[in-house]
Amino acid sequence: MLNLAFLDFDFALNEDEPPALTAESTPAQHLLFEKWKRYSRMFLMLMKNSISMPIRGSIPDFKNAKIYLAYVEEQLEGTFKAHASTLILKLVTTKYDGRSGIRGHIMMMNDMAHKLKGLDMEDSDGFLVHFIMTSLPTAYEVFKINYNTQKNKRSCLPCHQFQEEEEH
């Protein structure tokens, strides 16, 4: 979407298709129609080139960028749901392995939660903190107790607190 915005191709997504031109159409209507048609065509070329051939072949050849994107999103909705389910399962079952460093572990779990937010499967930061805490082994029990007994509960884990742990 960033590339589309820089190139102004998102114009075809943000604006409805102008009415068909007639003999009475004004020069401004002609310009608007041609602009929309060009940007829609450019958007479609970019989209079609970014989709793998087997998937692209299963998508009807729409001439309207909005309709094409809506169709693609509709077809991929089941894929998004499956991906969200996989991420949730991974988030719930992930345990610290002791190899990657505790900060790396927290960042990985935070990344999974961020991906879920991108799929409209957002949960609270406090919920994520509890997932992370339960993923830590008993060697981090003192940290868990200290965190749980703080009066000022933070919504996220400060990774810098683990620096001393990792250096020892």
User: CB pairs under 8 A, 24+ apart, for 12-19?
Assistant: 12/36, 12/39, 12/40, 12/42, 12/43, 12/64, 12/65, 12/66, 13/43, 13/65, 13/66, 13/69, 16/66, 17/64, 17/66
Q: pTM to 2 decimals?
A: 0.48
Please compute Rg for the chain using Cα positions: 24
d(CA 125, CA 128): 5
Q: Is the pLDDT of residue 91 over 60?
A: yes
54 or 43, which is more confident? 43
Q: How confident is the model at residue 165 (pLDDT cuts 50, 70, 90)?
A: very low
d(CA 59, CA 121): 27
